[in-house]
Structure 1
Amino acid sequence: MSDRLLRFVPVLLGAALIAGCTSADPRAVLNPGGGNEQTAIDPVTNSQVIQGACPQVILREGTAYYTQFAKGGDGDPEKIIHQASISDTTRQCRVSGDQIVMTVAVSGRVVAGPAAKAGTVEVPVRVAVLEGETVLYSELQKHPVTILEGMPAEQFIYTNAAVTFPAVASRTAKLYVGFDPGPYNTP
């Protein structure tokens, strides 16, 4: 092979692995065994496990954007402290015993509004796993984002590595991620 072609092999392999990790089909990840099953080693038990399906990330309508107004300024564009938006999401799953353990990552940006001041703002991010109407996991966290003086926008990456639910629900569960200005408790 030419040197030029050899430089692209790692890029192509990396792209294939990333595509497999974000696919709804668990067989999409490269499997050295050649079969239809994914195999992995559970770090807790040090035993081989068969991976279940990894639910896709879903953004519910109205949860990809969040606007924070100054006190008493709801709806007034001059009272906007910041606006946040989600630009991308991903997830990774593994089976641990009878549970699916997911790492969910959300990237986005926060844009300073007319009422903004330099400093740290918090955006409310909720991760929820539902099977039908049954809530299997739900957590709302305040994610800090620092807005620097003179910078119109800041990017952020939110990660939750503790999303856990029963493995038997992996093919029917739905994973929702988004901004939620509601109370900071889990249902």
Structure 2
Amino acid sequence: MSQSLLRFAPVLFSAALIAGCTSADPRSVLGSGGANQQPAVDAATNAAVVQGACPAVSLREGTAYYTTYSKGGDGDPAKVIHQASISDTTRQCRISGDQLIMTVVVSGRVVGGPQAKTGTVNLPIRVVALDGETVLYSELQQQPVSLVEGGPAEQFIYTNATVTFPASASSSAKLYAGFDPGPYNTR
């Protein structure tokens, strides 16, 4: 009997060790303090916002895809230089004073077409915040992406951490991100 007990001793010891390491409060295991300790957040500046009050990022019809053609080849598949598409968007909000500051992230991919050459292509990405018909924020930026002639599709991640508008408009604002091949300007 003692021989079989000795065989199970390492298993019993391991189980006791694991049981002693577990806790009902995961914060105590992770070293961030006890259950009564609250994270320090300065409510006056850069306070986190509940995602329900953080406007979701939407794509307007026709802004999720962008195709560039060689000169005079608009609409001709044989004249495509590159095609880009947006696959996902996300955002994060914080409040600073009376302003809502958002970080908007857009990801996607670019693939070279029959006319592609090795080099950098610039994708025009616009972020717009609207409250009804009122423009709260609008910025167009160029996202550089390196392509290799005959190479695979390249992924890109665009980040704009300066989307700012009055916090009072956060519940009614609509946020859009997408390709904007119009004239390059910053406001």
Percent pairwise identity:
68
Matched with 2:158 is 158
Match of 1:143 in 2: 143
Amino acid at match of 1:97: G
| Counterpart residue type for residue 62 of structure 1 | G
SS of structure 2 residue aligned to 1:41: coil
How far residue 160 of structure 1 moved from its aligned partner, in angstroms, is 0.3
Q: Does 1:41 align with 2:39?
A: no
For 1:63, the equivalent position in structure 2 comes to 63
Structure 1 or 2, whichever has the larger Rg, is: 2
Shift of residue 110, structure 1, vs aligned partner? 0.1
Shift of 1:131: 0.2
Q: Give the TM-score normalised by structure 2.
A: 0.74
Cα distance, 1:175–1:76 mapped onto 2, change above 3 Å: same
Residue 152 (structure 1) shift: 2.6
Cα distance in 2, alignment partners of residues 48 and 184 from structure 1: 31
CA distance in 2 between counterparts of 1:164 and 1:99 reads 6
Cα distance between partner residues in 2 of 1:146 and 1:65: 18
Kept in 2: contact 1:55–1:175 (CA 8 A): yes
Give deviations 1:57-82, integer Å, cap 9, x for gaps. Answer: 01001100000111111111111000
Question: For the residues of structure 2 that align with 1:126 and 1:48, how far apart are their CA atoms?
Answer: 25
CA distance in 2, matches of 1:184, 1:175: 20
- Equivalent residue runs for 1:61-100 within 5 Å: 61-100=61-100
**Alpha-carbon spacing, 1:109–1:49, altered in 2? closer, same or farther (3 Å):** closer
CA distance in 2, matches of 1:48, 1:180: 30
- In structure 2, list runs of 5 or more residues that go unmatched: 1-14, 27-36
What RMSD over aligned residues (CA atoms) do the two structures have, in Å?
2.5
Any idea what SS the aligned residue of 2:168 has? helix
8 Å contact 2:48–2:93 — kept in the other structure? no
- The secondary structure found in structure 1 opposite 2:42 is strand
1:99-114 equivalence runs, <5 A: 99-114=99-114
Alpha carbons of structure 1 residues 118 and 49: separation in structure 2 relative to 1, 3 Å: closer
The residue that corresponds to 2:124 in the other structure is: 124
| Residue 51 of structure 1, aligned match among 44, 49, 52 | 49
Post-superposition offset of 1:151: 1.4
